Amino acid sequence: MSRISACFAALKAQGRGALIPYLEAFDPDYETSKKLLAEMAQNGGDIIEIGVPFSDPAADGPTIQLAAKRALKAGATLSRILDMVADFRRNNDNTPLILMGYLNPIEQFGTERFLEEAAKAGVDGLIIVDLPFEEAKDVRASAKSKGLDLIHLTTPNTPEDRLELTLKEASGFIYYVSITGITGTNSATEEQLRQSMGRLRKVTNLPVITGFGIATPEQARSASHISDGAVVASALIKEMAGTLEDGKATSKTIPTVIQSLKKLAEAVRS
């Protein structure tokens, strides 16, 4: 059983959804990012989503765009991000890790080489935001052969026939983008989420997690109860960015993020 499947099975037994915190790799620097990754796993993060910084992040709002700029300035590369994952795996073999990014850096790295090295480092799943379903066949097959889940995104306005087409090839879980827009700019209502989950449950048996627009403990609790998990990204990055001085980490950086994460975790478990 994969780490992702084992995680959702354990959460189902506990009767709750997943809390999935997001961090931008190398934001604001390698050491802080590495420590945050470890601390998130120890303080309520059931699955952790790692953003791969990219200079043209079409789905990301201003907060994550700034995080990506800081990370690229700090020297983020795919190789170094995979090194960070491998280092994390030396002390944690249970927490699923998902890389979320864009196709260009992967193609520059070499798609097959990237998939091989990601699996070897200990990555469990990939979200490639701008990889169209129609062009994903080879990537999906290669990822599957290496034990990597290629996570599919759906949105409120995905047509029914396309849902059935794309989700039948999905693995790991489904990432429901709960708003029509970029990250951190709006939030779906509980009623909207319930309606969307009803629609998705008809076409997939995989866990469905909700992301984009979840900022507060109450929103995380609600999303994790209505779907199978909640991704919190921009809100945590804003907390972290507020502790920086001249773009650099301070003694408040990690404790501030972890304090917020603990509040989210408490809400999801309530």
Over the stretch 68-85, which tens digit does the pLDDT of each residue have?
Answer: 999 999 999 999 999 999
Q: Say if 92 falls within a structural domain.
A: yes
- What digits encode the pLDDT tens for the residues 167-207? 888 899 999 988 666 655 566 788 888 988 999 999 999 99
Please state whether beta strands 149-150 and 152-154 pair in parallel, antiparallel, or not at all (unpaired): unpaired
Domain count, the chain: 1
Whole-angstrom Cα distance, residue 131 to residue 80? 23
> Looking at the predicted structure, is the pLDDT value of residue 107 above 90?
yes
59-92: burial string, b at 16+ Cβ within 10 Å, e else: bbbebbbbbbbbbbebebbbeebbebbeebbeee
Please check whether residue 52 lies inside any domain of the structure.
yes
Residue 270 lies in a domain: no
For residue 182, the model assigns a pLDDT of 60
The CATH number of the domain holding residue 7 is: 3.20.20.70
Active site amino acids: 49, 60
Give the confidence band of 165 by pLDDT, cuts at 50, 70, 90: confident
Domain assignment present for 53: yes
Residue numbers of the domain that contains 144: 3-265
Q: Is the peptide bond before 28 cis (omega within 30 degrees of 0)?
A: yes
